[in-house]
Structure 1
Amino acid sequence: MRQFQRPIALMWLVLANDANAHDWYTGKTDPVLQYDCCGNKDCHPIDSDVVRETKGGYYVRLPRPAYMNEPQEAEWFIPRERVQAAPDDRYHICERLMTFYRTITPHMKFEAYQRFRWTCFFAPRGTSSIAQAR
């Protein structure tokens, strides 16, 4: 019995730390549109290599799955006024897989397709957008 207690305790410790690591996304909203960032399932850290800062904001290029039935946008532009401060030294993005519709035959039949859309973006406090805005 004692041999099972240690792995179970270790598992609870790991799960508790993972849950706390993403708690800060909960309750966050986009500063301009006031949309919910959506919390744990849609928000995640991203590598700084996929982020390019410009005068007006950021360009983010994320790899997309090949199974999507619609080509994804090559890059997302995130305006400076929608950038929020991250609590750590990493970039974070919140994104959702959304369903859109288009007509195949005018006024007769619709086809559904899915695309990822970003909802919130967080940059490290040391970046110029955060230093100027806050």
Structure 2
Amino acid sequence: MRQFLRHIALAWLVLPGDAGAHDWYTGKTDPVLHYDCCGGKDCHPINSNDVRMTKDGYFVRMPRPAYLNESQEPEWFIPRERVQTSPDDQYHICERLMTFYRTIIPHLKFEAYYRFRWTCFFAPPGTGSIQSD
């Protein structure tokens, strides 16, 4: 019996706990650029207090203020045509860490830096700026 309980505990630790929450993002693409929204754990719900709707789209406060030593924009603008409907009453965003390069000494040396960029944005049903399908 004790061996059986160990196997159950091990299976519980090994199996991913949030796989069901991630499933609905799978296969989603940006409606304009056609990039895949999710590549692992890139997508997550965000607090509605971090979202501000305008007639042209949404301003979303960054989930993190900075990465490493590179400061980030305080908000991302998501144009209306790139907003998709979420399956629940929450906002969701997909973001990826991307590598960029800048010139340190013109034409001689480049330095890599990293920034998060959003790839997909989902708003709750009934939100005014979502285009109907």
Normalised by the size of structure 1, how large is the TM-score? 0.86
Give yes or no for contact 2:83–2:120 (8 Å, CA) kept in 1: yes
How far apart are the structure 2 equivalents of 1:22 and 1:40? Answer: 9
Task: Give the whole-Å Cα distance in 2 for the aligned partners of 1:16 and 1:112.
Answer: 33
Q: Following the alignment from structure 1 to structure 2, what is the Cα–Cα distance between the partners of residues 106 and 70? A: 20
Determine the structure 2 residue equivalent to 1:119: 119
Q: For the residues of structure 1 that align with 2:111 and 2:105, how far apart are their CA atoms?
A: 10
User: Which structure dedicates a bigger proportion of its chain to strand?
Assistant: 2
Distance 1:65 1:3 in 2: 43
| 1:133 partnered with 2:132 | yes
Consecutive unaligned residues of structure 1, counting only runs of 5 or more, are none
What secondary structure is seen at the aligned counterpart in 2 of 1:20? helix
RMSD in angstroms over aligned alpha carbons? 2.1
- Within-5 A mapping of 1:1-134: 1=2, 3-4=5-6, 7=9, 11=12, 15=15, 18-64=18-64, 66-130=66-130, 132-134=131-133
Secondary structure of 1:133 counterpart:
coil
Distance change (3 Å), C-alpha of 1:95 and 1:107: same
5+ unaligned residues in a row in structure 2: which ranges? none
Return the offset for 1:55.
0.6
Give per-residue Cα distances to partners, 1:52-101, cap 9 Å, x unaligned.
00110000002425552211011000001000000011000000010100
1:6 CA drift (Å): 5.9
Which has the larger share of helix?
1
Deviating runs (4+, > 6 A) in structure 1?
A: none
Aligned-pair identity in percent equals: 73
